Amino acid sequence: MSNKIDTDILDDDWICNFEKNDKLYKDFYKDDVYFINLHIIYVNKNNEIEKLKQEIFLMSLPNCVTRNEVLGIIKKNLNDNTTSYSLFSILKYNINIDTEDVQNFLKVSDLETYYDDFLYTVKNIDSIKFEKTISMFHDLNDLIFIFNETKKGINNITKKVILNVSNKRKTIKKPYKD
């Protein structure tokens, strides 16, 4: 009997089976976000939605819309035809559900329970970060800009305020006495 193991015959079927099964679950792994849906909503003076725009936005950095990109989007959409708008709000919708929760998520009939987990108000105009998302949900990540129509005739000019002080005090120097 020989104690020598034959290295020429190596059973690598398990590796092939693993790779085959792994491909089936590839869509359920979290991956970097490279694009988002961009929604622009225009609201008129009567608080009615007047116009909607939608486009796919390719990010220059994975998982991040840079500050310059945000400013560019805002500047590009401040005017539509002859109407001027001002930015009212920015909303971020990021599906960041974990792989283990997908089955429960798909079974839930009332998705309102997840709104607080996915929808965020962007409070500052700065870089907007997106968390990694399961591959099959990448096309659900959104950035929503809401613009209000500006009222004509209102100038945003800071006015100088002059305060008149009626009680004037004078400083009198008194000689020093010993």
Domains of the chain, start order: 25-149 (3.10.20)
Q: Is the pTM of this model over 0.75?
A: no
Task: Please say whether the beta carbons of 90 and 145 come within 8 A.
Answer: yes
| Mean pLDDT, rounded, of the chain | 80
- β-pair type (35-43, 142-149): parallel
Is 4's pLDDT higher than 60? no
Bridge-based pairing state of the strands 133-134 and 142-149 = unpaired
Predicted pLDDT of residue 28: 72
d(CA 163, CA 72): 41
Helix H or strand E encompassing 71: helix 67-77
